[in-house]
Chain A
Amino acid sequence: MSLRRYVLRRTLLTLPILFGVSVLTFGLVKLLPGTPVDYVLQFQDATPELRASLRAQYHLDEPIWRQYLLWLNDVLHLDFGDRVVSDRSVRAAIVDRLPETLVLGGFAFLIALLVGVPTGVVAAVRRGTLLDEGSRVVALAGIATPNFWLGLLLILVFGVHLNLVPVIPPVAPVFAPESLAFLVLPAVTLGTASAALFTRLTRSAVTEQLRQEYVRTARAKGLDERTVIVKHVLRNSLVSVVTVAAVQVAFLLDGAVVIERVFSWPGLGRLLVRAILQRDFPVVQAVVLLVAVAVVVANLLADVLYAWLDPRIAY
């Protein structure tokens, strides 16, 4: 099967998944106690007419399947409605914060990959040495450490005691140098667990590949060790790393909810938590859907990468 057909098939297969995701997102929010009308009215005695008109405004007077279809139609047009707690549109609120979360998440992902994969390769090549054991201990600690605690610890050490970085974000645009400098600590905090996971995964994958016959062949051909590792072993090891990397996208978005709070970073995580507490349903639905779609897309990309990394993979 050609790569193009494979990608096309794989993409089509995400449609039922996206459909399921949208049903779940819509349905779970409906399961929460209370409706937006309760939030809007909680401070006042409302006449039944006012209640009815608000119910109509949120389509709560329609049967649930129609509510879903109406919502889905809006969502497909990227219209997430207005917020319950203010008259701003949900889309504006998300667009405001999306860059913050993407920059933080991207930075963390980069750190995770750039630290995790090389460390894993070195550990595998130097199997059994102190370096390997050391990386194992650090990786286990990295996976086991709760990220909010790590964040506070880093703040305490680098922000308070050494006073190297500000503890709160600078008043500057998100891509300004001082903002990026500030983001080092949150990104390290967010990326540590993933980096640790990548290290362990890369190490075991590379270790396995090193035992393969083709490695012996390559060495026998007289290729230098560097070429053997980077061109042959690493490429073949990356398949499992890519799988996990796709899942890590979800963890990074997840972790942002906590990290954004610890580092006072105004991203989607902060918006989501507050929206849940305020029963700002349109925002909750939109953010959850966005995260879910991001994960689905990341997995799709991973599958495409497989095919590129290993042409034998077909669907």
Chain B
Amino acid sequence: MPPFTTSRRRLLRWAGATSAVGLAGCAGGSGDGSELVATLGADVSAYDPTQANDTTSRKAFDLVYESLVSVDFEGNVRPTLATAVDQQDDRTWRVSLREGVSFHDGSDLTAADVKATFERYEGTPRESDVFLWYDDATIRDDYTLDVTLSQPYAPFQLSLGGVPIVPEAAATGDLDLSTGPVGTGPYAFDTHEPDRLYRLVRNEDHWYAGDGEVRRTSDSGAGEAGDGVPDSPPIETITFRIIVEQSSQLAALQAGDIDLANNPPADAVADLRQDDAITVSERLAGGFEMLIFPLATPPFSNRDVREGVARLVPRQEIIDAVYGGIGQPAYAPISPLLADYTSESFLQEMGDEHQRYDPERARELLERGFADLDISPPYETTIVTNETGDRVRWSQLVRDELNRTDYFDVSLEQFEWNTYVGRVLAGDSHRSDAMMALGWSGGWDPDTYLRNMFHSEQSTPSCCNAAHYANDEVDRLLDEALTVYDTAERRALYEQAQRRIVADAPVAFVRFGTRIEAFRTESVEGFRTYPLDSGEFTAIYAPWANAYTSTGGG
């Protein structure tokens, strides 16, 4: 098995989301009477942010830990444990900490905790969360520290949002986070019974005082956060039930045993919409599905052939037939979720030029490509996929479309997840004779959609560039864009890089995913869908994002 790098977490196991599904519900408890019974689609395997490599664990502790800043529902950076993050020079940022914040173990948050949090990432599975940019931190006083970066790093603030702050005692060994998460968040860890339940209780000492005193740091986005958010979470207890089987989760939702499901399967959404008791909320997410070409293997070594195949991907048919009309055709990697870095017109342009479904154009391209290579069709090949139902189904539609031409004789090969990942990310993936169906989940920063897939240094087995796409110009653009703080300037660089990539067609982009949540209307009030992985439960209580959920009196 090849070693996993951190970025491989972004491989999408299931279309539209990663590895788990959660549900939430209301079942009137004790105290002030509010308990939300939520569920997770897999068991929680780690409580320590430096160890947790699965989305289930991360979303399970999302309400327990807080970061210096957080990213709200629109992608704006909001101060959370920091009150300000100010740039001093290219590589130095000054962080001012909120005063009067305490951890669930009773200790107070100071600059020493922050520095210790950063430094304990070294040598852990999540090392790159911090050490991609971190060089050093200087504590100026209890509530101020200067963070020095190893190089100018554009996504610095967004990256801070992915580093949960833990007590210094966790770094010195006086506190063991492997027995339970200890953070500053609105909920504290209560119990975890493996494969059964995971429970959080309201943190009565949470710092937010209900004064709307959480303001944004970034320039984009409008409105003050925090207005109207109650000073403590309305829901007292959140119990996550662990339910692996998706059908059972839906049944539990419909029976009222639980009240909210993250990512119900696409084919169930139509049914749920028919159900009066249930509200379906849907939002464009930060991920896409694609078909990767093995660039070292003829005929895929030929650009015309690749574009020909890309133009045979029936994206609208896939969205209608496989995803129940939900989602958006993808013609380039960066999700439209990132409005600062891409646009509808840019995507359409990329579609027109190189990717949009067009059997006529595809035939011309394939004819030319096969002639140049002197290969006599039909070329016998396979599409490799894992067992995710939606992905198998879109691969079948692509296969059928390719087999309708005279150029291909394609069959489908399905593998169990670990075998599939081992195959797709093997060092010689670009030399196999199979096309690979893969999903990728990006974040709030454009770099997350491009580097791991298209930078030559990220070729398998280092990371996930399974095509072994290598273009000096793209490498240069991606490296430069990472060090430029100006959004407009970055956007121009990423647009250039995307143009180059789409023209070279190392992959055929298929669909931008959505995040879907279904909840019981009468017992979940105020819930909103967060577009990225492990932020599923943000809306439960996030004063910095102006979000909170109550049980609707149920």
Give the CA-CA distance A270 to B245 in the complex, in Å: 11
The interface size bin for chain A is: 35 or more
Q: Which of A38, A159, A169, A274 contacts B255 (CB 8 A)?
A: A159
A156 to B268 CA separation, bound complex (whole angstroms): 14
Query: Is B244's CB under 8 angstroms from A44's CB?
Result: no
Report A182 CB to chain B, min CB distance, Å.
11
When distances are taken between beta carbons in the complex, the residues of chain A under 8 Å from B242 are 264, 266
Q: Give Cα A287 to B194, complex, Å.
A: 17
A168 & B4 in contact (Cβ 8 Å cutoff): no
| Interface pair B1/A38, CB less than 8 Å apart | yes
Cα-based distance from A274 to B20 in the complex (angstroms): 14
Task: Note all chain A residues with C-beta closer than 8 A to B39.
Answer: 168
Q: Which of A38, A96, A263 contacts B194 (CB 8 A)?
A: A96
In the complex, which residues of chain A have a beta carbon less than 8 angstroms from the beta carbon of B124? 44
Q: Does B193 contact A264, Cβ atoms closer than 8 Å?
A: no
Shortest CB distance A282–B (Å):
16
Residues of B1-26 at the interface with A, using a CB-CB cut-off of 8 Å, are 1, 3-6
Is B255 a contact partner of A262 (Cβ separation < 8 A)? no
Q: Is B241 an interface residue (CB 8 A)?
A: yes
- Residues 225-244 of B, flagged 1 when their CB comes within 8 A of A and 0 if not, give 00000000000000101111
B99 at the interface (CB under 8 A from A): no
Q: Are A168 and B1 in contact (CB under 8 A)?
A: no
Q: Does B252 sit within 8 A of A, measured CB to CB? A: yes
Contacts of A38 in B (CB 8 A): 1
In this complex, what residue of B is CB-closest to A262? B245
Give Cα A38 to B461, complex, Å: 15
Q: Is B417's beta carbon under 8 Å from chain A?
A: yes
Interface flags, B264-298, vs A, CB<8A=1, else 0: 00000000000000000000000000000000000
**Are A43 and B255 in touch, CB under 8 angstroms?**
no
In-complex Cβ contact of A261 among B4, B53, B245, B418 (8 A)? B245
In the complex, whether B254 has a CB less than 8 A from a CB of chain A is yes
Q: Could you tell me the distance between the alpha carbons of A279 and B4 in the complex, rounded to whole angstroms?
A: 15
A69-111 vs B: 1/0 string, CB under 8 Å?
0000000000000000111000001001100000000000000
**A59 to B1 CA separation, bound complex (whole angstroms):** 19
Q: Which residues on A sit within 8 Å (CB–CB) of B3?
A: 41-45
In the complex, chain B residues whose CB is within 8 Å of the CB of A86: 45, 178
Per-residue 0/1 for A1-44: is the Cβ within 8 Å of any B Cβ (1 yes, 0 no)?
Answer: 00000000000000000000000000000000110001101111
Q: Which A residue's beta carbon lies closest to that of B254?
A: A160
Interface status of B125 (Cβ within 8 A of chain A): yes
Q: Is A227 an interface residue (CB 8 A)?
A: no
Say yes or no: A43 contacts B125, CB within 8 Å.
Answer: yes
Contacts of B258 in A (CB 8 A): 168
Which residues of A are at the interface with B, using a C-beta cutoff of 8 A?
A: 33-34, 38-39, 41-45, 85-87, 93, 96-97, 152, 155-156, 159-160, 163, 166-169, 171, 261-264, 266, 270-271, 274, 277, 279
Given known A-B contacts A33-B1, A42-B4, A44-B3, A167 and B239 have beta carbons under 8 A apart: no
Known A42-B1, A86-B178, A167-B257; further 19 A-B contacts with Cβ < 8 A: A34-B1, A41-B3, A44-B123, A44-B127, A86-B45, A97-B195, A152-B248, A163-B256, A167-B252, A168-B257, A168-B258, A261-B248, A262-B247, A264-B242, A264-B243, A266-B194, A266-B242, A271-B195, A277-B417
Across the two chains, which residue of chain A brings its CB closest to B195?
A266
B197 A171 Cβ-Cβ under 8 A: yes
CB contacts (< 8 Å) of A87 on chain B: these are 178
Cβ–Cβ contact A166 & B255, under 8 A: yes
A39–chain B nearest beta-carbon distance, Å: 8
Q: How many angstroms from the CA of A86 to the CA of B47 in the assembled complex?
A: 12
Chain B: residues with Cβ within 8 Å of the partner, total of 37
State the Cβ distance, A100 to closest chain B Cβ, in Å. 9
In the complex with contacts A166-B257, A270-B244, A44-B197 CB distance below 8 A: no
* 24 A-B pairs in the complex with CB atoms less than 8 angstroms apart: A33-B1, A41-B3, A42-B3, A43-B4, A43-B6, A43-B125, A44-B3, A44-B123, A44-B125, A152-B247, A159-B255, A167-B252, A168-B39, A168-B252, A168-B257, A261-B245, A261-B248, A262-B245, A262-B248, A264-B244, A270-B244, A271-B195, A274-B43, A277-B417
Q: B500 at interface (Cβ–Cβ under 8 A)?
A: no
Contact of A85 among B6, B45, B197, B245 (CB under 8 A): B45
Q: Would you give the shortest CB distance from B7 to chain A, in whole angstroms?
A: 11
**A82-B127 Cα distance, complex, nearest whole Å:** 25
Chain B residues with CB under 8 Å of chain A are: 1, 3-6, 39, 43, 45, 53, 123-125, 127, 178, 193-197, 239, 241-245, 247-248, 251-252, 254-258, 417-418, 422
B75 smallest CB distance to A (angstroms): 28
Tell me, in angstroms, the Cα distance from A159 to B247 when the chains sit together: 12
Contact B248 A167 (CB under 8 A): yes
For residue A169, which residues in chain B have a CB less than 8 angstroms away from its CB?
196
Whole-angstrom CA separation of A24 from B241 in the bound complex: 36
Instruction: Knowing A42-B3, A262-B245, A264-B243 are in contact, say whether A167-B125 is a contact too (CB < 8 A).
Output: no
- CA gap between A277 and B6 in the complex, in Å: 19
CB-defined contacts of A41 to chain B, threshold 8 Å: 3
The interface residues of chain A lying within 8 Å CB-to-CB of B45 are: 85-86
Centre residue among B127, B243, B417 by max chain A CB count within 10 A = B243
In the complex, what distance in Å separates the CA atom of A234 from the CA atom of B114?
A: 75
Cα distance, A21 to B162, chains bound together (Å): 48
Establish whether residues A159 and B251, one from each chain, have CB atoms under 8 Å apart when the complex forms: yes
User: Given A168-B257, A171-B197, do A155 and B1 touch, yes or no (CB 8 Å)?
Assistant: no
**How far, in Å, is B323 (CB) from chain A's closest CB?**
23
User: Which residue of chain B is the closest to A167 with respect to CB atoms?
Assistant: B252
Q: Shortest beta-carbon distance, B303 to chain A, in Å?
A: 35
Q: Find out whether the CB atom of B244 lies under 8 angstroms from the CB atom of A261.
A: yes
Which residues in B have their C-beta under 8 angstroms from that of A271? 195
* Residues in chain A near residue B422, CB distance under 8 A: 33
Q: Are A160 and B251 in contact (CB under 8 A)?
A: yes
Which residues of chain A are near B5, meaning CB under 8 Å?
43
Q: Which B residue sits closest to A159, measured CB to CB?
A: B255
The 6 closest A-B pairs by CB, nearest first: A43-B125, A266-B195, A167-B252, A42-B4, A266-B196, A264-B243
Contact: A264 with B1, CB < 8 Å?
Answer: no
A96 to chain B, nearest CB (A): 7
